[in-house]
Structure 1
Amino acid sequence: MLENAGVDYSDPQNWLYFPEIAKPVDIFYVYPTVSSHESGSMPIADEGDRALARAFSTTEASVYEPYGNVFTPYYRQMTTRVKMEDEDQFITDTKAFKQGARDIQDAFEYYLEHLNAGRPFILAGHSQGTMTLIELIKNRFGDDEELRSRLIAAYLIGYTVTDDDLQKAGLTAAKGAFDTGVVITYNTQSPSAVGSFVLMEGANCINPLNWTTDSTYAPASENLGARFYNFETGEFLREVIHYADARIDMKTGALTATIPADEKLDLGPYFPDGVYHMFDYAFWYRNLQQNVGDRINAYLLKT
Structure 2
Amino acid sequence: MPTRTRANPARPLLLVVVAACLAVTACSSGETTTAAPSTEAPATTARPAPSIPPYTSEVYADPAHWLCRPDLPDDVCHQDLDATVVHADGTLEVQRHVANPDAPIDCFYVYPTISADQSPNSDLVPSDAEKGSVLTQAARLNSQCRVFAPVYRQMTLPALLGSVPADRLAASQVAYADVLDAWRHYLANDNDGRGVVLIGHSQGASHLNRLVREEIDPNPDLRSLLVAAYLIGSTVRVPDGADVGGDFANIPLCRSQDQIGCVVSYASFRSTSPPPANSFFGRVRGGDGVAACVNPAAPAGGRASLTPYFATGDWVLPGAGAARAITTPFVTLPDLLDAECVQRDGFSYLEVFVNRDRAGRRAQDITGDLTPEWGLHVVDVSIAMGDIERMVGQQAAAFTGAPPR
Please give the TM-score of this superposition, normalised by the length of structure 1.
0.83
- The answer to whether the 8 A contact 2:279-2:374 is kept is no
State which structure, 1 or 2, has the greater radius of gyration over its C-alpha atoms: 2
Q: In the aligned structure 1, how far is the partner of 2:199 from the partner of 2:292?
A: 16
- The answer to whether the 8 A contact 2:105-2:146 is kept is yes
Please give the TM-score of this superposition, normalised by the length of structure 2.
0.63
- The answer to whether the 8 A contact 2:155-2:168 is kept is no
Residue 206, structure 1, aligned to residue 294, structure 2: yes
Structure 1 partner of 2:349:
254
Structure 1 partner of 2:365:
263
Q: What is the 5 A alignment of 1:187-266?
A: 187-191=267-271, 192-193=273-274, 194=276, 195-201=278-284, 202-213=290-301, 216-218=302-304, 222-223=305-306, 225-229=307-311, 236-251=329-344, 252-260=347-355, 262-263=364-365, 265-266=367-368
Structure 2 partner of 1:284:
384
- The answer to whether the 8 A contact 2:103-2:142 is kept is no
Unaligned 5+ runs, structure 2 = 1-56, 72-100, 239-245, 285-289, 316-327, 357-363
Give secondary structure in 1 for the equivalent of 2:400: helix
Q: Which structure's relative contact order is higher, taking Cα pairs within 8 Å and 6+ residues apart?
A: 2
State the one-letter code of the partner of 2:353: T
Alignment match of 1:180 (pick from 244, 253, 260): 260
Change (3 A) 1:159 1:176: same
Q: In the aligned structure 2, how far is the partner of 1:34 from the partner of 1:198?
A: 18
**Once the two structures are superposed, what CA deviation does each residue of 1:251-300 show, in whole Å capped at 9, x if it has no partner?**
311101022554251435xx537711111121112222111111111112
Give secondary structure in 2 for the equivalent of 1:209: coil
Per-residue deviation, 1:63: 3.4
The range that moved more, 155-164 or 92-101, is 92-101
After TM superposition, the runs of 4+ consecutive aligned structure 1 residues lying more than 6 A away are none
Structure 2 partner of 1:71:
148
Per-residue deviation, 1:198: 3.4
Alignment match of 1:275 (pick from 357, 366, 375): 375
**Once the two structures are superposed, what CA deviation does each residue of 1:204-244 show, in whole Å capped at 9, x if it has no partner?**
1112222224xx233xxx33x31111789xx8242111121
Unaligned 5+ runs, structure 1 = 1-5, 86-90
State the one-letter code of the partner of 1:196: S
Q: In the aligned structure 2, how far is the partner of 1:118 from the partner of 1:247?
A: 35
**Once the two structures are superposed, what CA deviation does each residue of 1:23-63 show, in whole Å capped at 9, x if it has no partner?**
32111111111112221211122xxx522111111101123
Change (3 A) 1:53 1:121: same
Q: In the aligned structure 2, how far is the partner of 1:92 from the partner of 1:240?
A: 43
State the one-letter code of the partner of 1:172: P
Per-residue deviation, 1:116: 1.1
Per-residue deviation, 1:131: 0.7
Q: In the aligned structure 2, how far is the partner of 1:135 from the partner of 1:92?
A: 19
Change (3 A) 1:79 1:260: farther
Give secondary structure in 1 for the equivalent of 2:205: helix
Q: What is the 5 A alignment of 1:88-237?
A: 94-163=169-238, 164-167=246-249, 170-191=250-271, 192-193=273-274, 194=276, 195-201=278-284, 202-213=290-301, 216-218=302-304, 222-223=305-306, 225-229=307-311, 236-237=329-330
Q: In the aligned structure 1, how far is the partner of 2:234 from the partner of 2:352?
A: 17
Q: In the aligned structure 2, how far is the partner of 1:84 from the partner of 1:239?
A: 33
Q: In the aligned structure 2, how far is the partner of 1:256 from the partner of 1:114?
A: 41
- The answer to whether the 8 A contact 1:190-1:274 is kept is no
Change (3 A) 1:17 1:237: closer
Q: In the aligned structure 2, how far is the partner of 1:196 from the partner of 1:72?
A: 30
**Once the two structures are superposed, what CA deviation does each residue of 1:76-106 show, in whole Å capped at 9, x if it has no partner?**
0111122589xxxxx9962111211111011
Give secondary structure in 2 for the equivalent of 1:155: strand
- The answer to whether the 8 A contact 1:124-1:155 is kept is yes
Change (3 A) 1:146 1:84: same
